[in-house]
A and B are shown apart, each in its own frame.
Chain A
Amino acid sequence: GAVVSQHPSRVICKSGTSVKIECRSLDFQATTMFWYRQFPKQSLMLMATSNEGSKATYEQGVEKDKFLINHASLTLSTLTVTSAHPEDSSFYICSYRDGAREKNTEAFFGQGTRLTVV
């Protein structure tokens, strides 16, 4: 399957600072990208969807100014949590779909980032 590299795997930051999470597709072109947030013992909550070169589309209730998504190339996407607060502590996961393949293909996920805001 396709390889998606996400880092950092863990980050601890002080309240009020910003944190950038990177997600790279290593062996395919990622035209569509999804960012998820996962709370403990809960399912994945889709935060936003973006296409390369376009603005992200955010799900209802997700603050676009707080969670900045940049999908500048077919191999790199970033999520920046701005002015982080303890309630932003969570597990963030990126996901790509291979744009060159059929629509019914599975998505590929990064390893996830555990963010802890203190």
Chain B
Amino acid sequence: AQSVAQPEDQVNVAEGNPLTVKCTYSVSGNPYLFWYVQYPNRGLQFLLKYITGDNLVKGSYGFEAEFNKSQTSFHLKKPSALVSDSALYFCAVRGLNTGFQKLVFGTGTRLLVSP
């Protein structure tokens, strides 16, 4: 069975500093990995995905993520955080073997960027 772990419930960072939101996964075969962001009382917005190719994936709003197969990780990063980045971030995985191509989400990490 596929699973995603986001070990941090909350990440605090000062504006202008780099941020990292951690994600590790477990899946049979090659994974499709995604990051989504959720603002209060809103649906999820797609940030970026890794399917194949370069391990460093660039996405929306200056975010990027690095796929590390040996560590089964897909950490989300941004060089310089903004207060407006404060939100709930979800990592998700889809395995090639899932019949309905279901996304499995992590528990989410709340990012709080202070001015």
Contact = CB atoms under 8 A, between A and B. Distances in A.
A93 B107 contact: no
B103 A6 contact: no
A23 B32 CA distance: 25
A9 B44 CA distance: 14
Contact of B43 (A6, A41, A97, A103): A6
Contacts of A93: 43-44
B41 A112 contact: yes
Contacts of B108: 41-43
Interface in B15-64: 32, 34, 36, 41-46, 49, 51
Contacts of A110: 43
B49 A106 contact: yes
A116 to B, nearest CB: 12
Contacts, number: 53
A12 interface: no
A49 interface: yes
Nearest to A97: B101
A34 interface: yes
A91 B49 contact: no
Given A43-B106, A46-B102, A49-B102, A106 B42 contact: no
A42 B107 CA distance: 6
Interface in A46-77: 46, 49, 57
Given A43-B108, A44-B105, A93-B43, 9 more contacts: A32-B101, A43-B106, A57-B100, A97-B101, A103-B101, A104-B51, A106-B49, A108-B46, A110-B43
